[in-house]
Amino acid sequence: MTTFVITIPGTFTTDKAAGAHAALERGLSSRHTRASESEGLELLTVNEDRTFSVRIEVDAEDRYEAELDAVEFLSTSLKDAGVPEGEAPLGPPAVTGIDSDA
């Protein structure tokens, strides 16, 4: 099993959605492990222009599975934070870190 750090960009399309970032950070906190904390990784970065990026740690067999899991987790976290699907469109996920036991 490999641990991937997946970065997903997005844009909040409304001020209300942009204001939900504290609730979103709480929802993402389960993926903020000791490894990412020790590396100083921020889970969520929100810019003044309402663009954002999320870094999520995922244990998966391969990159494809890791990206799918990260996008699904982020989509659920956005919904749980009260952000409707259309108010935070996501960009393509990218692998920005890999830690393999092998």
From residue 75, alpha-carbon distances to 5, 27, 34, 41, 101 in Å are: 16, 11, 23, 20, 28
Interval 18-27: pLDDT, tens: 778 788 888 8
For the segment 29-57, what is each residue's pLDDT rounded down to a tens digit?
876 555 556 566 778 888 999 999 999 99
What is the DSSP pairing of strand 51-60 with strand 44-46? antiparallel
CATH number at residue 51: 3.30.70
Please count the structural domains in the chain. 1
pTM score of the predicted model = 0.86
pLDDT per residue over 57-87, tens digit each? 999 999 999 999 999 999 999 999 999 889 9
40 dihedral zone (left: phi>0; alpha: psi -120 to 50; beta): left
What pLDDT is recorded for position 70? Answer: 95
Domain holding 11, by residue range, is: 2-100
